Amino acid sequence: MLPLTYTEENYLKAIYGIQTSNSSGVVSVNEIAEKMQTKPATVTDMLRKLSEKQLVHYEKYKKLHLSDTGVQEALSILRKHRLWESFLYKKLNFSWDEVHEVAEQLEHIRSQKLIDSLDEFLGFPEYDPHGDPIPKANGEIPQSSAQALTEVDAGKQYKIVAVRDTSSAFLQQLERFKIQIGTQLKIVERMPFDNSLVVSITKGETLQLSEKIAMNILAI
């Protein structure tokens, strides 16, 4: 198979993200178009190319999913992306809201030796700065029992281990709340009117998290 273009790699990563978040395990053209911020017709053209390379199982007007080879390629891209995020965060002092955009550029580097050396240099990390699991070289992904704050029980103590939303706006909002990976908090109360959460972080300090924010924070 010829080397993938940057655009093809971006599509594979996007499809994998949607596919793994959908309980059905399949993806629609419109979902991809929304994720890639493009037109459905453009997505259809790309799907034809990916299908010819046997990376997706696709039939016109039907939902689709990645082939086994497509999954392997997507995991390889995710591995590079999350290792580069870890490098930028741990070694170059980028903040966690800055690393994603730069890693988007670095993830397309093709040298497998470089990526394996980067993994070793970082001490074989299992999770990136946002708490997302880093696929191993063989495609294995560390498993997590983390739940969104909207799903946990009130009155108990939890540790933040990941975030679903990695946008700069969301991460900067968490920084204003002094919330980061590893933060310990207690769910004090769930407000019945709007499902917001009152949480206690340190020294008895409390703050109120909207349902939208809480559903994007994962804890154990």
> Can you give the pLDDT at residue 27?
97
Pick the CATH number of 6-66 from 1.20.120.80, 3.40.50.1980, 3.40.50.300, 1.10.10.10: 1.10.10.10
Q: Which amino acid is at 7?
A: T
Check residue 57 and report its DSSP letter.
E
Per-residue tokens: 47: 């799907």
**pLDDT above 80 for 204:** no
Q: Do domains 6-66 and 147-219 have the same CATH topology?
A: no
Spatial CA neighbour of 139 closest among 70, 50, 47 = 70
Q: Which CATH superfamily is domain 147-219 in?
A: Ferrous iron transport protein A (FeoA) (2.30.30.90)
Domain ranges of the chain: 6-66, 147-219
Per-residue tokens: 187: 């769910």
In whole angstroms, give the CA distance from residue 162 to residue 129: 8
Segment 194-204 mean pLDDT:
89
Taking all residues of the chain, what is their mean pLDDT, rounded to a whole number?
95
> Can you give the pLDDT at residue 43?
97
> Can you give the pLDDT at residue 203?
73
Q: What is the largest CA-CA distance in the chain?
A: 59
In whole angstroms, give the CA distance from residue 5 to residue 16: 17
Segment 34-42 mean pLDDT:
97
The share of the chain scoring above pLDDT 90, in percent, equals 93
The share of the chain scoring above pLDDT 70, in percent, equals 100
pLDDT digits (tens, 9 = 90+) for 129-184: 999 999 999 999 988 889 999 999 999 999 999 999 999 999 999 999 999 999 99
> Can you give the pLDDT at residue 122?
98
pLDDT digits (tens, 9 = 90+) for 66-87: 999 999 999 999 999 999 999 9
